[in-house]
Amino acid sequence: EKTEQINYFNQISDVFNNQLIKDKVINHISSEYKDAIQYIQNNDFETFISFFTWLKKGSKIIDNQQNEIKLTDMKYKYSIPFQQTNLLNLVESKNEIKIQVSINGVEKESILNLSIMSRNDYKEDIVIDDFEITDNIMTISIPKDKINEKKAAIYNCI
C-alpha cells in the first residue's frame, strides 16, 4: 500500500541523509542505485517508486553511448550500468579446455579471476586467475584434470 511505501521511503531517507552515511557509505554503493540515492536525497518519492518498478518489472533496452553500455527504459528516463558476458567459444584439446567470452561493461583491470562455482558444493569450485583479455575477449585455459576430478553438477561461471 502507498502509505506503507511512504513509511519505508521516509525510513530509508533518514538513513541516507545521515551525514556519516553520506560521507562513508554512499560512494561504495553499486552505481546501479546512483539515481535511486539521488531520488532519496531529493525527497522524490514518486520517481523513486517508478525507478524500482521499472528496474524490477519494466522493459529495458541496451543503450551504448560514448563506450558506456547501459540498460534504459524506452523513453531514456532511467538507466543503470549494463554488464554482459557471452560465451564465444569453447574448445577441448587433449590436455585443456579453452573458453573465450566477450566482456562488456566491465573494466578489464577489475577482473581478478574466473570462478567456476558448483551449485551443489562450494568445495568443488575452481578459481582460475591465469587468463588474458584482448579487445574485450577473455581467454581462459583450464587443465582437463582440474575439470575431470570434479563431481558432475551444474556450475556457474563468475
Phi/psi at 4 (nearest 5 deg)? -70, -40
pLDDT tens-digit series, residues 52-61: 999 999 999 9
Residue of 71, 5, 17 lying closest to 43 (CA atoms): 17
Distance CA 153, CA 6 (A): 45
* Radius of gyration for the alpha carbons in the chain, expressed in angstroms and rounded: 21
Residue 18 has pLDDT above 80, yes or no: yes
Average pLDDT of 7-14? 94
Strand order in the sheet with 68-72: 61-65, 68-72, 79-81
Task: Please report the domains of the chain, with CATH numbers, ordered by start residue.
Answer: 2-81 (no CATH), 84-157 (2.40.30)
CA distance 87 to 98: 11
Question: Residue 47 in 3-state DSSP?
Answer: helix
Q: What is the pLDDT of residue 13?
A: 94
Indicate the pLDDT class of residue 104, thresholds 50, 70 and 90. confident
- CB of 142 within 8 A of CB of 128? yes
User: Cα separation of 36 and 31, whole Å?
Assistant: 10
Mean pLDDT of 136-158: 89
Q: Please, are residues 76 and 63 in contact by the beta-carbon 8 Å criterion? A: yes
Question: What integer pLDDT is reported at residue 100 of this predicted model?
Answer: 94
- Residue 31 or 10, more confident: 10
Give residue 30's pLDDT band: very low, low, confident or very high (50, 70, 90). Answer: confident
Output 66 or 102, whichever has higher pLDDT: 102
Q: Supply the pLDDT for residue 25.
A: 92
DSSP H or E run through 125: none
pTM of the prediction? Answer: 0.63
| For residue 66, pLDDT beyond 80 | no
Question: Is pLDDT above 80 for 150?
Answer: yes
What's the rounded Cα separation, in Å, for the pair 105 and 109? 12
